[in-house]
Chains A and B, each alone.
Chain A
Amino acid sequence: MLLRLISPLMNVVDLPMRALQRRLGISRLAWVFLLPNLLLFGTFAFLPILLNFAYAFTGTDNILLLDRTFVGAENFAQLLDCDSYLDPNTCARDLFWRAVHNTAWFIVMQVGFMVGFSLLTALVLNREIKARGFFRAVFFFPVLLSPVVVALVWKWVLQRNGILNAGLEAVGMDSVVWLLDRHWAFFWSVFLSVWAHMGFYTLILLAGLQAIPRDVYEAAVMDAAGPWRTFRRITLPLLMPTMLVVMVLALIKGVQTFDEIYAFTGGGPGSATTFIIQYIYETGFGGAPRLFGPAAAASLLLALLLVALTVIQLWITRRSSNG
């Protein structure tokens, strides 16, 4: 149906493309095919990367570059102005450092639990179990849910009169206002994040497990190696490259955590679950004055971190795919 609709359109495009082909020759026609994509990349990805520097080194809340004043490294100096980097309260932009601290703790815990539970789940799913497809789907489906839906699902479970509190009271414990306590809010943020994304990493690890040749295990059985020894000596070393990819991927995504936590806690209580992207969002777009300079400077610092992580990831992927 759809094809029949597009087909005449594509035939119309054929005429100018044929003319271009006669004009340019086949090899230069490649650029014509690339053009739309490159225009979009250039305008909405590459240009912004360059412009980000311009914003990071200029001040005032004006979005038009020409109306902004050059301030040198002022934005960075303010962001990095701290008596002690370990204590956000001593920093000029304390919220930024609080966000940095939160993000650091968040990724340490989130990546740890994520890799741990994904590995456990992948190991279980790799066994000869019944209805494997169903169980795989069970762990995977939250990956597809939108961040706002994930946040609301858990908000509803955790709300004051929610089912979790009902369960606690049923066994004689006191109910807790989960999202108004900073430690619990942080815990549930990590939990929600692992819950929502675990299936994705499980899938990658499962593929890694299935790539381990069967005969290695058969040899282990011959040598009468126990399950624990087989895991330590065979599964884990052979799975290590995949584990590394999973870890770095989880790191890259963890650093950029925003959507579901913003919808879940709004960054609160206080700033207990405010992460770096939320700091950038609120500094630049949250309300007047729109501090584009500091937002861009913080983005730049984050971008540097991400580039470093991606380079590591590409390096690992290349090394492991080359054997």
Chain B
Amino acid sequence: MANVTAFLTRTRGRGRLHWTDWASYAYLALGVFLMFGPVIWLVVSSFKTQAELDRFPPRFLPYAPETVQLDGHAEPLPLFRVTDGPLAGETVAQVRRIGLTSQVVRPEAPGEVVKINRADRVPVERVKPALENYRTLFERFDFMRYFWNSTFITLTATAITLLVNSMAAFALAKYEFRGRGAVVALVIGVLMVPQSVVLVPLFMVTREFGMLDSPWGVIIPGAATPTGVFLLRQYMLTIPDEILDAARMDKASEWKIFWRIVLPLSAPAIAVLAILSIMWRWNDFLWPLIALSRSENYTLQLALNSFQGEMRTEWSSLLAMTVLTLLPVALVFAFLQKYIATGIASTGGK
């Protein structure tokens, strides 16, 4: 114990903790509580039955009533602990509830029905995750379809983005040609006007291409991102031209140089763009909301949003669906945290 205290209060060599150290750790503890708390609360809640979710004040862990299967009863019977009366202290199974009394049997003697006061019993409960919340999602709702829609859009769009942007970045980084300045200016221009302020004409253009209400209508319009071009171009500028010239001496075609030399050398920047693109696409909301109208084409985000509108009170399925939507992001984050952080910091978001 003394060791732990010594470890925790150890500072940069000067013995005791300064008050600013205490304040820092207090702030960080509050941060952990505020940042993690709500998400953990959501995840824990997603394992509760609807009855338990309606309970106020709520309990932290998901409890479910303990039941027992007895001969002569088709359904499992809920167990109660009797607090008063002749059976006090015993655990009984409730057969039926009539008004203020309840008919119970002892599990050892299932045939012998006893009447007790409802006020004299408390339910026997134990911590038990309500997995049926998740099961309903797959049985009653087409969760897999939305999941697939999102996955398809995310992966296809990222592949197209990587290919198209790296080609453009290669041209802008490694060739001298007339009009290069104009192209760079155009890219900056596009950077200034985000998708969210050209919704009406974008809708029309997408409609003219017949891509409305199809995954392609979500994939194609955002495939060429100015951020991506910039990120890759900046990185490719650091690749020495001598390597390219050496390859040219060996009669490599320009496409081969791009594909065999420049792309592999740009792998770190490409990885960053891939992670960013996956995140943007998976979480994208406004444009899919406009471009997709039939619910069978919905992405996970759209489905989740329309789902919360439809069932205002049925939180049990809604929470489970939120957790499943959050899960891929959490997994990616757990493994790639460092890369994501540097990637986002180096591009300024979007």
Contact = CB atoms under 8 A, between A and B. Distances in A.
A147 B229 contact: no
A33 B201 contact: no
Nearest to B248: A26
B273 interface: no
Contact of A156 (B41, B167, B229, B330): B41
A44 B253 contact: no
A234 interface: no
Interface in A183-232: 195, 200, 203-204, 207, 227
B183 A38 contact: yes
A296 B200 CA distance: 6
B177 A17 contact: no
B172 to A, nearest CB: 7
Interface string A60-86: 000111000000000000000000000
B349 to A, nearest CB: 6
Given A146-B282, A153-B39, A31 B202 contact: no
A19 to B, nearest CB: 10
Nearest to A41: B224
A147 B285 contact: yes
Contacts of A296: 200-201
Contacts of A170: 57
Given A148-B285, A156-B42, A163 B164 contact: no
Interface in A1-35: 10, 13-14, 17-18, 21, 26-31, 33-34
A44 B42 contact: no
B177 A31 contact: yes
Interface string B26-46: 011001101110110110010
Interface residues of A, number: 101
A240 interface: no
A63 B192 contact: no
A63 B204 contact: yes
B348 A249 contact: yes
Interface in A104-123: 120-121
Nearest to B318: A152
B61 to A, nearest CB: 13
B329 to A, nearest CB: 5
B168 A44 contact: no
B311 interface: no
A124 B168 contact: no
A11 B322 CA distance: 43
B101 to A, nearest CB: 30
A262 to B, nearest CB: 8
A170 B56 CA distance: 11
Contact of B186 (A43, A46, A295): A46
A299 B203 CA distance: 13
A144 B193 contact: no
Contacts of B319: 152, 156
Nearest to B208: A64
Contacts of B322: 148-149, 152-153
A315 interface: no
Interface string B327-350: 001101100010011001100110
Interface in A129-160: 129-130, 135-149, 152-157, 159
| Chain B residues touching A, range | 35 or more
Interface in B53-77: 54-58
B192 to A, nearest CB: 4
Interface stretch (B78-86, B113-121, B126-134, B215-223): B215-223
Contact of A34 (B38, B171, B318): B171
A220 B55 CA distance: 58
B183 A285 contact: no
A50 B190 CA distance: 12
B187 interface: yes
A65 B204 contact: yes
Given A33-B170, A51-B204, A146 B190 contact: no
B258 to A, nearest CB: 7
A48 B205 CA distance: 7
A249 B329 CA distance: 24
Interface stretch (B89-97, B104-112, B136-144, B301-309): B301-309
Given A141-B35, A306-B193, A152 B200 contact: no
A41 B308 contact: no
16 contacts: A14-B256, A44-B206, A48-B198, A127-B21, A136-B341, A139-B31, A141-B333, A152-B318, A161-B58, A258-B286, A263-B308, A295-B199, A303-B193, A306-B192, A307-B193, A310-B192
Given A33-B167, A306-B194, 18 more contacts: A27-B177, A31-B171, A47-B205, A137-B337, A146-B285, A146-B326, A148-B301, A149-B322, A152-B42, A152-B319, A152-B322, A161-B55, A200-B344, A207-B345, A281-B286, A285-B199, A303-B198, A310-B191
